[in-house]
Amino acid sequence: MSAITIYHNPACGTSRNTLAMIRNSGEEPQVIEYLKTPPTRQRLVELVASLGVPVREVLRRKGTPYDELQLDDAKWTDDQLIDFIVQHPILLNRPIVVTPLGTRLCRPSEAVLEILPSPQRGPFTKEDGEVVIDAQGRRAVR
């Protein structure tokens, strides 16, 4: 089993770019398509704790039932928000990557570079044409 896990949605460009950067570092991660195999409630609690962010920061609004469930209402506790994610896995923002160096919500996808144990093995360009790692192996400046 790989030391790197990605909670992945193959329909998401950010998630695809993140997975490609992991692979460009020479690693083959454990890929969990969380819409097909949602994390358990306990695993969600662990992931949020390891991210070190409030539960609200892992909620995805776009393309989800966030608005119809009125999840921006301050009345919802963290436990209740976790329950909503368990009921509607699409609410989990992605991709979340776990490595020996930490856990990150990789938005933007380059955030994964902070927690990869190995450097990029070659140039990397995102699907949209944005250069992340140039031909000299340097991180491109935005």
Is 72 inside a domain boundary? yes
State the amino acid at position 120 in one-letter form: Q
Q: Is pLDDT of 4 > 80?
A: yes
pLDDT digits (tens, 9 = 90+) for 18-40: 999 999 999 999 999 999 999 99
Report the C-alpha gap between 71 and 79 in whole angstroms: 13
Is 138 inside a domain boundary? no
Of the residues 6, 8, 9, 12, which is catalytic? 12
Cα R_g (the chain), whole angstroms: 16
Q: Is pLDDT of 89 > 80?
A: yes
Query: What is 16-34 written as a DSSP string?
Result: HHHHHHHHHTT--PEEEET
Region 73-82: what's the mean pLDDT?
Answer: 97
Domain that holds residue 53: 5-133
Q: What is the pTM of this model?
A: 0.94
Domain count for the chain:
1
Q: Is pLDDT of 141 > 80?
A: no
Is 142 inside a domain boundary? no
Is 128 inside a domain boundary? yes
Q: Are 24 and 121 in contact (CB under 8 A)?
A: yes
What count of other Cβ atoms lies within 10 Å of the Cβ of residue 64? 19
What count of other Cβ atoms lies within 10 Å of the Cβ of residue 10? 12
pLDDT digits (tens, 9 = 90+) for 99-133: 999 999 999 999 999 999 999 999 999 999 999 99
Q: Is pLDDT of 140 > 90?
A: no
Cα-based angle 127, 19, 12 (whole degrees, multiple of 5): 60
Report the C-alpha gap between 80 and 27 in whole angstroms: 36
Which distant-in-sequence residues (6+ apart) come within 8 Å of 102 by Cβ? 50, 114, 115
Is 81 inside a domain boundary? yes
At 76, which CATH number?
3.40.30.10
Cα-based angle 25, 94, 90 (whole degrees, multiple of 5): 145
Is 140 inside a domain boundary? no
Is 141 inside a domain boundary? no
Q: Is pLDDT of 142 > 70?
A: no
Report the C-alpha gap between 26 and 129 in whole angstroms: 21
**pLDDT tier, 138 (very low <50, low <70, confident <90, very high otherwise):** confident
Is 73 inside a domain boundary? yes
Q: Respond yes or no: is residue 106 known to be catalytic.
A: no
